Every structure is written in structure tokens, then in C-alpha cells.
Amino acid sequence: MHFKIKKIKEHKYLYLIENKRIDGKVKQTRQICVGTPQKVYDFLYKNRELKIASFAFGKPASLLKAAEEVGLIQSFNNRINKKKIEGLTPAQYFMTIIIGRAEHRYSRNRLKDFFKESILKFYWSPKYKLNSQNFLNNMEKLDEDTIRKIEMDVAIKLIELGYKPSRLIFDTTNFYTHIQKGEELPQKAKSKEKRYDKNLIGLGMTISDDNLPFNSFTYPANQHDATLFSNTIDMICNRLKEIKIPTEEITIVLDRGMLSKDNIKDV
């Protein structure tokens, strides 16, 4: 690190500069404004009120550690193309979204403020302003094919770590949205959250006996569970084949609302 003096509108400011060697070249990775000469003098010699700040550490640290161990961070960066500009990686963007919503259920608009208030700012150095559009640009790169590839990467890693499923539990739910028209996915149906005035999106999820997600998908909420499951069982079996687990070794647990003669035959 080193100091640098910048002149802005006839005033001089002291900056703390951090450089790192990236791809064989020395690049500036952090720039912190210390302030004017008067501010530095006051900081050193004048009595000042002590200010203490605290940052949530446990949940962000555990989520980052888990994402690293199961290969999620590496998969994000490998599967999502990023423009050749310095700043947060795709994985860092998505982990900011995950941690922000795990901590406070923040929307995209609040994530830039959350970043400044979290421990993430001590680990990562964005080179440009974080805003809702930047998060949205990265989220749009998660199409269905990319999500499937990331799920496969994580599934294979989990099996390497010893999490081989023997029982899969499938169920559905729904959640309301504020989308009123122009989309095929949101539909009127029986709301689990009692919001019958809103359009709903259905969510189907399969978890393993270790309570780990096996696969998930969204669907129009007005689709009946019994009809939905006939396609789901094929999806589950295809995933098992991809990760080389014999289907004969798996027990499927499902809600009785999905039962029909055809579904039992398919299973």
C-alpha cells in the first residue's frame, strides 16, 4: 500500500492506494479517501469521539464456506461469461444476493447498501458502482441451461463428498407475485400464503434424505399436482442417470395429491 495526493477543485486530498499483481500486471485494486490535510491533522491530534461499528459475521461466513466446499462458487465463475472488466466476479454477485436475502430478505435495490454494511466489503473490491441493474445483468445470465449445468456441478461434488441419496422427497408449493399480466407463468390458484388476489408461481422441489436440494423448477400455479408429477418423475430419473446413481436404489416419497394409477405405473 502507499499514499497518493490528489487535487480536486483546488483542494488536496490524501488517498490510500492498494495495488495487486493480477495476470502478471500490477493493478490498482482499492482506493480509500483519507481526507484533507485538516482532517488528517484533526484525526491525529484532536480529541475525538470513539466510534465502534459491528458487522454480522456468522451467517455470511458460513454461507461463503459452504458455497466454496460444494463447488458452487467455482461453478458460477466457470459457467457464466463475464466481460473482461475488473470488479466482482459472477460468483461474488450471486453470493451477495444470497447472503443479502438470507440476512434481511433485501431486494436488488437494497443490495448495494447491504454490501457497504456487511463484512463483504472487507473481502471484495468492486471497481464500479453496485446498483440494481448490475445485479439484474448477472441474474439474466442464469438461463435454464446454465442453471442445470451448475446444479450438475454441485451434485457431482456432493457425491464426491459422500452425500449419495437413497431417498428423494418431492413436493410443491406456490408464492404470490405482483405480476398482473403479460406473462404465462403467473396464474391464479389456491394460494399457500392466502393471497387469492395475486397471481401465483408454482415451485416444485425434490430434496434428499440429507435435506439437500436435488432439483427444482417453476411452473404455472394452476397446474394440478397429479399432472405435474408425470413430467417430474422423468426429470428425476434423468438426473439420477446423469450423476450415475441406479434408480433401483432410490425410494421416492410424494404427497398423496399426486397419486394416480398412471403416476404409480411411471414410478
Instruction: Region of 50 please: left (phi>0), alpha (psi -120 to 50) or beta.
Output: beta
pLDDT digits (tens, 9 = 90+) for 163-209: 888 999 999 999 998 888 767 889 998 888 888 899 999 999 999 98
Dist. CA 200–CA 176, nearest whole Å: 4
The parent domain of residue 208 ranges over 165-266
153 is a domain residue:
no
254 is a domain residue:
yes
Task: Please indicate, yes or no, whether residues 37 and 65 belong to a single structural domain of this protein.
Answer: no
Task: Please indicate, yes or no, whether residues 28 and 62 belong to a single structural domain of this protein.
Answer: no
DSSP-derived pairing of the beta strands 11-22 and 2-8: antiparallel
Of 104, 139, 174, the position where a domain reaches its end is 139
| pTM of the predicted model over 0.75 | no
**Residue among 35, 43, 40 nearest 14 (CA):** 35
Task: Please indicate, yes or no, whether residues 185 and 247 belong to a single structural domain of this protein.
Answer: yes
CB atoms within 10 A of CB 263: 18
Model confidence at 85, pLDDT cuts 50, 70, 90, reads: low
**Residue among 256, 257, 255, 252 nearest 267 (CA):** 252
Task: Please indicate, yes or no, whether residues 35 and 119 belong to a single structural domain of this protein.
Answer: no
Split into its structural domains, the chain has a count of: 3
158 is a domain residue:
no
In contact, 138 and 80? CB cutoff 8 Å: yes
199 is a domain residue:
yes
Task: Please indicate, yes or no, whether residues 236 and 178 belong to a single structural domain of this protein.
Answer: yes
Task: Give the domain CATH number at 212.
Answer: 3.30.420.10
SS3 211: coil
148 is a domain residue:
no
pLDDT digits (tens, 9 = 90+) for 56-66: 889 999 999 99
